[in-house]
Amino acid sequence: MASRAEPASGAEPVDTGGRRDWRDVARDAADLALLGILLTLASAPLLTAAAAAGTASAAVHDWTRTGSWPSARTTVRRFGRSVLPGVPVSLLALAGAGLLAADLAALATGRVPGGPAALLVTALIAASLAGYAGLVVVEVGGNGGGRWRAAARSAARACLDAPTRWAALTGVVALAGLLAVLVTPVAVPILAGYTVAALHAVTVRRSVSATTVGRPRLADPTIRRSVSAVVVGRRELP
């Protein structure tokens, strides 16, 4: 995985003013696809699913904020450090998902009374819990891929403080689940990487929007300065 701000080998850094072309987009897409594949492989034993998700989230957290992916050594160290603490989380997530899936299947087939109304309510509850779980994964990525209990508490407070963000994350997870059903199984691992990135993007966007609400806008547009992208080896002129 390469850095988005990294110049080509032996080439003079070029200030593009923050503009990105199709090669940057293609490189980002390939990096996220590789991330999803590695996430799926690391989650294969099931008990390592939480550690894999936390490590992938930490990698995306670094990428979205610095433009560079963490080194392989850092990623392996994060994963190894979070395997044992993540086992209870993996078991809890698998048990919860299994119970909700069984409940939905029983309601859909009529084996449990309640009809369409109960099925709809249960589906909404399952989607909301999935959105909360997505925010927990984002919070875990912010602390290096571990500390699930602290991340769960922080995500619970964030959901109550910003229900619209919770709803947006629920929509991301629901859309990812729908696409996972529609696409070919080979593409599901690739979808996992994009889903983690989308969860981070929605969380960051909502957080930035919330902090700007209520702030007065500057009356004079001339005092605003545009900030260009990071340019390696150059000083910014005043």
Give the pLDDT score at 226.
37
Tokens matching residue 216: 């007065």
Task: Specify the pTM.
Answer: 0.75
One pLDDT digit (tens) per residue for the chain, 238 residues: 655 545 444 444 444 455 777 888 899 899 999 999 999 999 999 999 999 999 999 999 999 888 889 999 999 999 999 999 999 999 999 999 999 999 888 888 888 777 788 889 999 999 999 999 999 999 999 888 778 999 999 999 999 999 999 999 999 999 999 999 898 888 999 999 999 999 999 988 755 555 444 444 444 443 333 333 333 343 444 4
Give the pLDDT score at 67.
85
Exposure letters 13-49 (e unless 16+ CB within 10 A, then b): eeeeeeeeeeeeeeebeebbbebbebbbebbeeebbb
- Cα–Cα distance for residue pair 170/124, rounded to 1 Å: 9
